């Protein structure tokens, strides 16, 4: 077991390192959900072509998200199989 003074010294070192990093104030703020910006845009001012382009871009982004979900599920299954042994 660590002596009380030693534990406090380690905590102080960790705090000092934390303060020395290049953390910005915005890093501490909660992240905004990406979908909110899309759903709040006024679509009435967009042309049909712009709307179709928007749909195409969103479709590509949806596919990219689905691919990442598949990768993460595969990684999770791999990790679970290791720990079940």
* 3-16 pLDDT per residue, tens: 556 666 766 666 66
* 39-63 pLDDT per residue, tens: 788 999 999 999 999 999 999 999 9
Residue 54 token pair? 């928007």
Above 80 in pLDDT, residue 38?
A: no
| Higher-pLDDT residue of 56, 26 | 56
Q: Is residue 61 part of a domain?
A: yes
Above 60 in pLDDT, residue 64?
A: yes
Domain count, the chain: 1
27 contacts: CB under 8 Å, gap ≥ 6: none
Domain residues for the domain of 56 are: 43-85
Give phi and psi for 3, each to the nearest 5: -70, 150
Q: Is residue 66 part of a domain?
A: yes
Kindly indicate the confidence band of residue 83, based on its pLDDT and cuts at 50, 70 and 90: confident
């Amino acid at each position: 077991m660590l002596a009380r003074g030693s534990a406090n010294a380690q905590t102080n070192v960790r705090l000092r390192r934390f303060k020395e990093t290049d953390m910005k104030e915005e890093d501490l703020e909660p992240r905004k959900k990406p979908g909110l910006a899309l759903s709040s845009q006024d679509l009435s001012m967009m042309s049909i072509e712009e709307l179709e382009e928007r749909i195409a871009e969103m479709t590509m982004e949806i596919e990219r998200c689905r691919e990442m979900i598949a990768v993460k599920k595969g990684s999770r299954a791999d990790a679970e199989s290791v720990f079940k042994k």
